[in-house]
Amino acid sequence: MNVELINPFLSATVNVIKTMAFTEVKPGKPFLKKDHHATGDVSAVIGITGESEGSLSVSFTEECIINIVSNMFGEKITAINREVEDAVGEITNMISGDARRELSEKGVMLKAAIPSVITGKQHTIKHMTNSPVIAIPFSTASGDFTVEVCFTN
């Protein structure tokens, strides 16, 4: 997979979480995902089409997303609820949009679908293609999340 397609999603993730949730994130070492198991308790998946086909997913642990959404809303959230699920979809949408904007500046035009949100312990994520999935772990002071990117070329 072309690293030129992956890096904008890494920088977009750092930018969106820092800007929207006032939360510092530290990216870990990307790795090739070997299964469909989500690393978190709530995830969003968004299909991407255009000059390349694929998908993006963001999967948060419960502790991490509760802190992020509490920061976003300016009020204490105590559990994953409908508002948290909606926020996960919107965060994923913003990461996708920021990354696609950066890629369009490099001449790569991509479009995104509406994100789907999945919740629950031990849920799975099925990406839109059978291409390798690159997972990028992130850590925050209140927990971890993972961004997965998968493109056909």
In angstroms, the CA 55 to CA 92 distance is 11
- Average pLDDT, whole number, for the chain? 94
Structural domains present in the chain: 3-151 (3.40.1550.10)
Q: Which of 151, 126, 136, 132 is nearest to 50 (CA)?
A: 151
Task: Supply the Cα-derived Rg of the chain in whole angstroms.
Answer: 14
User: Left if phi > 0, otherwise alpha if psi is -120 to 50, otherwise beta: which for 91?
Assistant: alpha
Tracing tokens 């397609």 back to the chain, one arrives at 5
Spell out a b/e string for 71-92, using b for 16 or more CB atoms within 10 Å of the CB, else e: bbeeeebeebeeebbebbbbbb
Q: Which residues contact 88 (CB under 8 A, 6 or more apart)?
A: 42, 43, 44, 58, 60, 65, 117
- The per-residue pLDDT for range 29-56, each reduced to its tens digit, is 999 999 999 999 999 999 999 998 999 9
* pTM exceeds cut of 0.75: yes
Give the pLDDT confidence score for residue 119 in this predicted structure.
95
